[in-house]
Structure 1
Amino acid sequence: MRIHLIAVGGAAMHNLAIALHKKGFEVSGSDDVVYEPSKSRLDKYGLLPAEMGWDENRITPDIDAIILGMHARIDNPELLKAQELGLKIYSYPAYIYEQSKDKIRVVIGGSHGKTTITSMILHVLNYHQKDFDYLVGAQLAGFDTMVKITDTAPIMVIEGDEYLASPIDRRPKFHLYHANIAVISGIAWDHINVFPTFADYVEQFAKFIETITPKGTLIYCEVDEELNQTVLKSTADVEKIPYGVPAHEVRNGVTYLLPQQTPLNVFGDHNLMNLNAAKQVCAKLGIAEEGFNEAIASFAGAAKRLELVAAVNQTNIYKDFAHSPSKLKATIHAVKTQFTDRRLVALMELHTFSSLNKQFLKEYSGAMKDADVAMVYIDAKTFEQKKMQPLTEADIKEAFEDDKLLFFDDPTKLETYLKSLNYHQTNLLLMSSGTYAGLDLPKLASELKTN
C-alpha cells in the first residue's frame, strides 16, 4: 500500500504516518511547516518531507490512499490533484475506521476526560498483556507512538473527539468510528467556532449514540444531567451502562478505592469517574474488577493531565490541559479537596478560540472561585493570530464574576508575580492548552519560595 498524508505534521497525523510505516506501508507526507516534536519523530523514521510546502507533482496515480489532515485548506494543490486523479481521499478518522472495521472498536467520547479514560484502558490492557491497537491524544509512558495499527490485534481503543474530521468532511471525528463499545464522559459546550449554540453541540453526542453498532454498548456518566437526558431520549439499539464516582477515601493526600483499599496515583472526582468508565470498558473486554484494580494502581496519569511537575516540602506544582470551564472547575476542585490543609494558587491561560470569544467567556462564571489566588493570563499576540477582538481585564473579571482575580498579559510580569509569592503549604496549579506564557516550569519550580 502506498499512502500519502497531506498536512503530515499534525499531532495525530504524524503518529498515523509512523504507525502505517511500522505496518509496512510505503508512506510519504507533506506540510507547509512541521514543528517539534513531530519534526524529530518523523525524521527518525525517514518520513520528514525533504522540502516544506505543497507540490502537486507528489500526487501520482499509483497512490492507494490520500489522508487529509485538518490543517490543510480545501484549495490545497495536492488535494486538488488527488481529486482530479480520482484517488481515494480519507480524513484520518475515516482511515482509522478503514483499518479497524474488523476489530472491536472502543471509542471514548465526551467534552472532558477522553485522554485520561483512554490512557487508563490502554494501561490496564497493557498490564495484562492484551493485544490491542489504539489512537490516543497524548504521548503515554510506555507507548512509543500515539497511534498503533496492526493486522493482528482484535481490539482498537480510540480517543474520539467531536471536532471536524477534515476540511472536506465536516462530520465530527467520533461519528466515523462506529463504536462497538462507546463511552461518553460528559457534555460541556466547546468548539464554539463550529457549534455556535449549546443545542448544536449536544446534538453531536445524540448522533454519536446513533452511530454505535446495533447491540453495542454505551457507557455514560450519569452525574452529567445533560448527558443523562440525551441518553434517555435515544432510541438506539444499545446496552446503556451508567457510571458515577466510585467508593473511595482520601488519607494523607492519597486516594484509595474501596472496598479493596487500592491506592491510586490519581485523584479528584473527575479522575475517579474516568477510572470508573475505564473499569466498565475493561469489564466488557474480559478484565474483571480485581484485575482492573491491580493494574490501575500503577497508573501514573496521562501527560499534562494533573501532571506533577515538582514536589518540594509541602508544595506540589501541577500542570493540566484544562482550558474549558468544566475542566477548569473540576481540576481546581480536585486539587483543593485532595489537599485540604494547603492553599491553592491557580493560573489558567485563555488560549483557545472558544475561550477568547466574548460571548462564550461568560461560561467561565465562578470557574476559579475555589482557588485562594486565581490568575488569568492571555498572550496578547493570540488575538492577532486568531484575528479576534482583544479582551480587557474588565471583560475577564466580569465573565469570571471574581473581582479578586488577577489578570496578566505580560509574561515577564506574570513570572515575577509567581516568584514573589510564598508557597509554604501551598500548591501551584497551571492550566492551559497553550504554553503557559513560555514558562520554563522545572526552572520555575526550583525558584519558588516554599518555606
Structure 2
Amino acid sequence: MAKVHFIAIGGSVMHQLAIALKIKGYQVTGSDDEIFEPALTNLKQAGILPDTLGWDDHRINADLDAVILGMHARADNPELIKAKDLGLKIYSFPEYIYQESLQKKRVVIGGSHGKTTTTAMIMHVLQQAGTAFDYLVGARLAGFSQSVNITDAPLIVCEGDEYPASVIEKRPKFHFLHPDIAVLTGIAWDHINVFPTYDNYLEQFAIFIRTMKAGHTLIYNTTDPELEKLVKAEGLHLRLLPYNVPPHQIINGTTTVTFGNHQAALEVFGEHNLLNMHAARLVCNELGISDEAFLAAISTFKGAAKRLELVGKNDHCAIYRDFAHAPSKVKATIDALREQYPTRKLVAVLELHTYSSLNASFMVQYQGAMDQADIPVVFYSKHALEIKRMPELAPELVAQGFGRTDLHILNKKEQLQDFLDKQNYDNTNLLLMSSGDYEGLDVNSLKKYL
C-alpha cells in the first residue's frame, strides 16, 4: 500500500487529491497550519484530518513513498526540509498527477479562459456515455462528488493551470502533465504577479506546445490570432485540429447548435461557451464519441459553478453570477448576455479582487471590456488592497482604464447594496462578476428583485 504525505493538505484541490488517494486505498496523512471549510469537513469525513494544526517534522519518515507539496507551504517548512534530508520523492500537485497517470491517455485543457467549462463539458459527455475516466477540474460540478478523481481508469481529463506548481517548483502546473490530447482555448495576459510581462506569459504556452510529443494532438482556437500565430511557430510537430464558433442560432433566448446533420438546444449560451463546446466536441470525437452522442449529452449540460450561473429569473429579468475577473473573461461574459438578450437592459457589476485586477498599471487591459453593459459598475474594497499590501487605487484611474466616463465605482458593500436596490429591473438583466464575494454580499438575497 502506497504511503503518501501532504504538506499543506487544506488547499482546495490538494485536499481533494488526498481524499481521492484514500478512496483508492492509499495510506494518506497530511498537515497544515490552517484549514477552512469545505476542506475541514471533507477531510474529517474521509478520516484524514490532521490531529493538530501546524507543522511537525516527526510526521516525515523514511517509509513514505511520496510527499506532495501544496502551494501554501513555504521553502523553510520543517516537514519539507526533513523530506529533502531523507531524500524522499517530493512532488508538486501536477507532478504527482502525472506519476499517477503514466499508463493513462492524458487530455489536458489549457488557456487563459474557458478551461474549467471546457473540462466540465468533456466530463459531462464522458459520464453520459458511460466511459471510465479520472479527472482534475477547478470547480464544483453537478454529478461529480469530487473535483479530483484517481482510479485505475485508462483515461484522465485535466484542467491545465498556468499558475506555478509549488514553492520549490515555479514552473506552471500544465507543463508537468504531458498530454496525448491538448486543448488551448486562447491567450490573454493574466497573473501579472507571476508573469510580469506579456511575453513572459506567452512563453509559458510556447513551452507547453513545444514539449508535447511529436504526433500528439493539439486542438486550438483559431479565433485567437495570437494563439494561431504561436501554434504555427511552435506546433508543426503535432497533429493540429483547429476550431472556431460552430453554426448556431438564438431564438427566444435559447441557443441551438449544429454539428453536421445533428442539432441540439443548449442550456448554456454565449460565443465563448460555443467555442468551449466546439473544443469539447473535438476531444470527445478523439475519444470515440460521435457528434450525435455528443449533442445528446451536451444538451443537458448546465455549466460549472459560477460560470454564467443563473441565480434566478422571471419573464422580464434574469440574475447571473460569473467567476469572470480577467479582462477577456469580463468582455466575453458581458457580450454573451448582450447577444442572448439583445433587447434587455444590462446592469453589470465587476469586483476587482485579484492581484492583477487591483494593479493600477494593469487597468488599461480592461479598455472596452464593459462597453456592452448599459449600466457598468466596478466594486473594489479597501480591505482587498490591504490584504494584498497594495497601494490605494484611485477611482479616476479605474474609469480611465475601462474607458467609460459613466462607470459607477463603489468601495463598500453597503454602497453596492444600496445602488442595486435603486435600479429598475423591468426588462433588465443583472450580472455579477467576481472571484471574491463583494465583502460578503448575499447574492441569493438579490432574488428579491424578481
Shorter-chain TM band: over 0.9
Q: Unaligned stretches of 5+ in structure 2?
A: none
Where do residues 153-302 of structure 1 align in structure 2 (5 Å cutoff)?
Answer: 153-258=153-258, 260-302=262-304
CA distance in 1, matches of 2:154, 2:236: 25
| AA in 2 matched with 1:111 | S
The C-alpha deviation readout for 1:380-421, integer Å capped at 9, x for no partner, is 111111111120211111111111000111111111111111
| SS of the residue 2:347 aligns to | strand
* Offset from partner CA, 1:118-139 (integer Å, 9 cap, x none): 0000000000000100000001
Structure 2: distance between partners of 1:236 and 1:247: 28
Counterparts of 2:99 and 2:262, CA distance in 1: 41
Instruction: Tell me the secondary structure at the aligned position of residue 169 of structure 1.
Output: coil
Q: Does 1:309 align with 2:307?
A: no
CA distance in 1, matches of 2:78, 2:316: 57
Question: What residue is the counterpart of 2:371 in the other structure?
Answer: 369
Query: How far apart are the structure 1 equivalents of 2:392 and 2:43?
Result: 36
- Determine whether 1:428 maps to 2:422: no
The CA distance in 2 between the partners of 1:21 and 1:235, in whole Å, is: 39
Q: Name the structure 2 match of 1:349.
A: 351
Q: Measure, in 2, the Cα distance between the counterparts of 1:300 and 1:377.
A: 28
- Letter paired with 1:158: C
1:46 matches 2:16: no
Q: CA deviation at 1:89?
A: 0.2
What residue is the counterpart of 1:135 in the other structure?
136
Equivalence for 2:125: 124
Cα 1:185–1:75 change in 2 (3 A) is: same
- Provide the rounded CA distance (Å) in 2 between the counterparts of 1:407 and 1:357: 16
Please say if 1:28 is aligned against 2:29. Answer: yes
- Could you tell me how far apart the structure 1 residues matched to 2:46 and 2:407 are? 47
TM-score (norm 2): 0.98
Q: Take 1:436 and 1:131, find their aligned partners in 2: how far apart are those partners?
A: 39
List aligned pairs for 1:48-63, cutoff 5 A: 48-63=49-64
Give the match's secondary structure for 2:217. strand
**What whole-Å deviation, never above 9, does each CA across 1:43-70 have from its counterpart, x for those lacking one?**
1111211211111111111211100011
In the alignment, structure 1 residue 100 sits paired with structure 2 residue 124: no
User: What is the Cα deviation at residue 437 of structure 1?
Assistant: 2.7
The Cα of 1:42 is off from its aligned counterpart by 1.1
RMSD: 1.0
TM-superposed deviation, 1:229: 0.3
What is the total number of aligned residue pairs between the two structures?
A: 447
Query: For residue 69 of structure 2, what is the amino acid of its counterpart?
Result: L
Q: Tell me, in whole angstroms, the C-alpha distance in 2 between the residues paired with 1:162 and 1:236.
A: 22
Does the CA contact (< 8 Å) of 1:210 and 1:236 recur in 2? no
User: Residue 378 of structure 1 is aligned with which of 380, 385, 396?
Assistant: 380
Rounded to whole Å, the distance in 1 between the matches of 2:47 and 2:321 is 33
Contact 2:116 2:138 in 1 (8 A): yes
What does residue 147 of structure 2 align with? Answer: 146
The structure 2 residue matched to 1:398, chosen from 388, 400, 403, is 400
Relative to the length of structure 1, the TM-score reads: 0.98
Unaligned runs of 5+ in 1: none
Distance in 2 (CA, whole Å) between partners of 1:356 and 1:128 is: 43
Return the alpha-carbon distance in structure 1 between the equivalents of residues 271 and 354 of structure 2: 25
> What is the alpha-carbon distance in structure 2 between the residues aligned to residue 327 and residue 368 of structure 1?
11
Q: Can you list the C-alpha shifts for 1:363-388, whole angstroms capped at 9, x where unaligned? A: 00111111011111112111111111
Shift of 1:237: 2.0
Q: Secondary structure at the match of 1:86?
A: coil
Partners in 2 of 1:76 and 1:195 — Cα distance? Answer: 25
Which residue of 2 is the match for residue 4 of structure 1?
A: 5
C-alpha deviation, 1:77, in angstroms: 1.1
Tell me which stretches of 4 or more aligned residues in structure 1 moved more than 6 Å: none
Q: Would the aligned equivalents of 2:312 and 2:320 in 1 still touch at CA under 8 Å?
A: yes
User: Distance in 2 between the 1:166 and 1:25 partners?
Assistant: 23
Tell me whether 369-378 or 256-265 shows the greater mean CA deviation.
Answer: 256-265
Question: Which SS does the other structure have where 1:47 is aligned?
Answer: coil
Determine if contact 1:179/1:211 at 8 Å carries over to the other structure.
no
The CA deviation at 1:214 is 2.3
Cα distance per residue 1:137-181 (max 9 Å; x no partner): 001111010001112x11100000101011101111101000000
Q: Deviations over 1:188-247 (max 9, x none)?
A: 001111111111111111110122222100000000000000001015521011000000
| Contact 2:209-2:235 at 8 Å conserved across structures | no
Q: Report the CA distance between 1:360 and its aligned residue.
A: 1.1
Offset at 1:312?
Answer: 2.4
How much does 1:436 deviate?
Answer: 2.7
| Cα deviation 1:21-59 (Å, max 9, x = unaligned) | 110001111111111111111111112112111111111
Letter of the 1:266 partner, please give it: V
Name the SS of the counterpart of 2:13 in structure 1. helix
Q: Distance in 1 between matches of 2:198 and 2:361?
A: 12
Measure the CA separation in 1 of the matches of 2:438 and 2:119: 25
Q: Deviations over 1:75-102 (max 9, x none)?
A: 1111111111111100000000000011
Contact in 1 for aligned 2:263/2:295 (Cα 8 Å): no
Residue in structure 2 matched with residue 334 of structure 1 by the alignment: 336
Aligned counterpart, 2:77:
76
